Amino acid sequence: MSASQAHLEVCVDSADGALGAQLGGAQGVELCDSMVEGGTTPSLGMVRAARRVLDIELHVMIRPRGGDFCYSELELEAMADDIAAAREAGADGVVLGILRTDGTVDVERVAGLVAVARPMRVTFHRAFDMTRDPLEALEALVELGLDRVLTSGQEASVPRGLTLLRELVELAGDRIAILPGCGIRSHNLAEVRAKTGARQFHATAWAPRESPMAYRNPRVSMGSGQALREYERNGTSVEGVRALVQALAP
């Protein structure tokens, strides 16, 4: 990728969403499950389905549950197995993150998962935004040889974290790619690009979709505390992806 080129990765939660991102012109997707928890590991079947329809990059979230990023030994075993399965399914990369209880990168355990993942690319996800010292964390990830860091600049959204993001991009140089993500929209993407100097960007392009179900039982819900109604879900909008791509056009 040349200095003038920009790369858009769209976060999706289904093979249909992955296809929509591709049709909209994205260069890659991050495939997750359970977006209401910030993204967890998708099923192997979903990874395989996405790979069958994609010609663009496919990065798979490796996160066994929601919540913090301090994992048990059994959870780490599951993560290693999921990484191996993603590699065998043809994924281009995986997205992961592990922290120690003191808020530092768990270098030893991350290194173990990176060894399982290679030759796929490895992205450290927004666990980075929960580290106690982002500059210390960045150097740890560079030392580990990771390829990218997904971050909002340790703020609730990228537009609020522009100052740190700019600093991270400058410090990272060509050693590791900084991937701003969270709160990026078509109306602010050009500003994020200009103010951070980043070349890769991570966004969603959600649009609500009504269920095709004609018969509906209003007395029962399959989830608790859902952000969406039982017969409505978010899906990736091709038009929304196109708007993001257009915002990155020279």
d(CA 176, CA 153): 15
Domain count, the chain: 1
Does any domain span residue 151? yes
Does any domain span residue 88? yes
Does any domain span residue 94? yes
> What is the predicted pLDDT for the residue at 122?
98
Summarize the confidence of residues 138-146 as an average pLDDT.
98
Q: Retrieve residue 197's tokens.
A: 């100097």
Does any domain span residue 216? no
Q: Which residue has the tokens 């990728």?
A: 1
Does any domain span residue 1? no
Domain containing residue 74: 7-211+226-247
CA distances to 61, 138, 150 from 243, in Å: 25, 31, 21
Q: pLDDT tens for residues 58-109?
A: 999 999 999 999 999 999 999 999 999 999 999 999 999 999 999 999 999 9
First to last CA, the chain: 15
> What is the predicted pLDDT for the residue at 234?
82
DSSP 37: G
CATH number of the structural domain spanning residue 164: 3.20.20.380
> Closest Cα to residue 31, out of 55, 7, 45, 15?
15
Does the structure show a pLDDT above 90 at 232? no
- Computed over every residue of the chain, the mean pLDDT equals 94
Q: What is the dihedral of CA 128, 130, 133, 137, to 10 degrees?
A: -20
Does any domain span residue 217? no
Does the structure show a pLDDT above 70 at 227? no
> What is the predicted pLDDT for the residue at 127?
97
Q: Strand (E) positions, the chain?
A: 7-12, 28-31, 57-61, 93-96, 121-124, 148-151, 177-180, 200-203, 206-210, 232-236
Does any domain span residue 146? yes
